[in-house]
């Protein structure tokens, strides 16, 4: 018996002594997938201590078009394994910077923000949502997080603001005493590029990691401003995409080659 987690689903594989698989039990769907009917009795006997409730037993279901598209991706082109802040993690590994410096490395603060926001988004996985992290775009731009689910598509920019006051005056955003930047204009542009790539509406979100206070002079145009603690509320949105559409868009979006054309 070999436990595994594939694409957010817990599975328990049943293997022969030589290590080859004969079946797997998908806990979420309550299904035992048999690779050969002749092993049915042995498989069910081996799985008996692990089964929770009634199960369906049979051959693996035929892959959907979205699943087939995902399976044909070369591992180097699949964005799904990206960790939150993947690009920053690679950059810091290649060039960690001096051991002692007067000011904290801004890359580490940016990484902390992406990891905080990414963890909140990954927690939505079981509710029919998918998240892709650190999507590189031509020209050096990057979408920090792309969230896909029943409530639609969202491009999120994670901003480090721990225990700091944030002032939003569309399109400018100021964090603490730092100079204001036109972050909302940039985020709208990134969402437009994502919409072009996916031929579907992608809405921009500015996600603030740990702010002490948020002040907005007016409600920003088209951009949602959310704190990291509020991101789980996105799971309550629905009525925009059907489950099949979400899966198809996710299979499309995880292909690195798609984003090289936007």
The pLDDT, as a whole number, for residue 230 is 97
Residue 144: its pLDDT value, please?
98
238: tokens are 């629905």
Contacts of 232 (CB under 8 A, 6+ apart): 120, 123, 124
Closest by CA position to 86, among listed 130, 129, 125, 132: 132
Give the distance, in angstroms, between the CA of residue 212 and the centroid of all CA atoms in the same chain: 26
Please work out, in degrees rounded to the nearest 5, the angle formed at the alpha carbon of residue 144 by the alpha carbons of 88 and 234.
140
pLDDT of residue 155: 98
Whether residue 55 is preceded by a cis peptide bond, meaning omega within 30 degrees of 0, is no
- The pLDDT score that the predictor gives to residue 74 is 83
pTM: 0.75
Residue-level pLDDT at 15: 84
pLDDT at position 5 is 64
The structure tokens listed for 138 are: 């031509």
What pLDDT is attached to residue 68? 66
Largest pairwise CA distance in the chain:
70
Per-domain residue ranges for the chain?
A: 2-57, 65-258
Q: In this structure, are residues 243 and 131 in contact, taking their beta carbons and an 8 Å threshold?
A: no
Query: Which pLDDT does position 70 carry in this prediction?
Result: 66
Over the chain (262 residues), the average pLDDT of each successive run of 10 is 68 79 84 85 91 86 68 85 96 85 86 98 91 96 97 97 96 96 96 94 96 95 96 90 90 93 85
| Per-residue confidence (pLDDT) for residue 33, from 0 to 100 | 87
């Amino acid at each position: 018996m070999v436990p595994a987690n594939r694409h957010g689903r817990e599975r328990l594989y049943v293997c022969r002594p030589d290590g080859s698989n004969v079946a797997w039990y998908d806990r979420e769907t309550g299904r035992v997938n048999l690779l050969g009917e002749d092993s049915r009795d042995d498989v069910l006997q081996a799985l008996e201590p692990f089964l929770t409730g009634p199960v369906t037993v049979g051959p693996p279901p035929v892959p959907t078009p979205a699943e087939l598209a995902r399976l044909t991706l070369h591992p180097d082109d699949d964005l799904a394994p990206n960790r939150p802040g993947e690009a920053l993690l690679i950059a810091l590994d290649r060039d960690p910077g001096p051991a002692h410096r007067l000011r904290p490395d801004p890359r580490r603060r940016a990484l902390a923000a992406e990891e905080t926001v990414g963890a909140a988004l990954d927690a939505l996985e079981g509710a029919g949502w998918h998240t892709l992290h650190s999507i590189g775009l031509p020209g050096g731009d990057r979408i920090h997080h792309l969230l896909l689910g029943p409530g639609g598509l969202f491009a999120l920019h994670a901003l480090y603001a721990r225990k700091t006051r944030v002032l939003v005056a569309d399109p400018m955003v100021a964090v603490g005493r730092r100079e204001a930047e036109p972050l909302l204009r940039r985020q709208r542009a990134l969402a437009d590029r994502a919409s072009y790539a996916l031929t579907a509406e992608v809405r921009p979100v500015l996600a603030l990691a740990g702010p002490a206070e948020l002040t907005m002079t007016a409600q920003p145009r088209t951009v949602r401003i959310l704190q990291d603690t509020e991101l789980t509320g996105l799971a309550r949105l629905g009525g925009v995409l059907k489950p099949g559409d979400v899966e198809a868009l996710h299979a499309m979006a995880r292909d690195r080659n798609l984003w090289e054309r936007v």
